Chain A
């Protein structure tokens, strides 16, 4: 998934009303009126939210003008979720290890002196 598409989806999901709409749609397809019911807003306002969700690929709508139930597109949502989880997992893991590594820098033991730790990659430029 490319960054722009992901960003569009994240932005679409940023609004609590839109997340609420998605949660409703998780129970099954619904018409605009049904989706609007829990909110104190006009059908037009809800339609606007639906348009954002639709262009982000998070929902699809029926073709017939009169009956256009909204349908949740699960796959992109799962993509977003997995992206967020991956990000968190990667950095949680890294930051935990940083904590352990800082310990070795602060209190070097004869067994694991910081200077002997592996990986001494090239440095194109010394830190100022």
Chain B
């Protein structure tokens, strides 16, 4: 098992999950909202979630300690470590302990956010990869971006047919 915390920038590897948004805000502002803990606590987790604690040391190997409180009042902790910080282009992080996913929190992966300057708008591209969590040989060429975006119906149908 690979346990290194450095990200091998092998661009031939496919992302697992890709989420994109175009925000009506300049890139620097989006970067600020993504990396300033005072802002992150205001959107992380989405509607109904609050962030009693959000501490971010935004530099490579810096820690991101986050405590979320869900709508039902339950709290859970998400500890991540930043792998790459390239202001205002790219932020990469993964689970700090690489262990079990926190109950109710986001599952663990290597997550890369890329911000593309579109003038007064910003394209947010978020990719979740598993290449540092699994055996290299097994994890390369994962077709999950494709699978999730185009093959989701198929897998869902498959699951429903069970």
Binding site for B on A (CB under 8 A): 1-4, 6-8, 10-16, 19, 22-23, 26-27, 72, 74, 77-78, 81, 83-84, 86-88, 90-103, 105-106, 117-125, 127-128
Contact = CB atoms under 8 A, between A and B. Distances in A.
A122 B6 CA distance: 27
Closest A-B pairs by Cβ, 7 of them: A93-B46, A7-B134, A11-B138, A14-B142, A119-B41, A98-B43, A121-B54
Contacts of A122: 53, 55
Nearest to A99: B23
Given A7-B138, A26-B161, A72-B162, A14 B144 contact: yes
Contacts of A86: 106-107
B83 interface: no
A122 B29 CA distance: 21
Given A74-B162, A81-B156, A120-B38, A88 B108 contact: no
Contact-residue bracket for chain B: 35 or more
B45 A119 contact: no
Given A81-B156, A122-B53, A127-B35, A97 B17 contact: no
Nearest to A83: B107
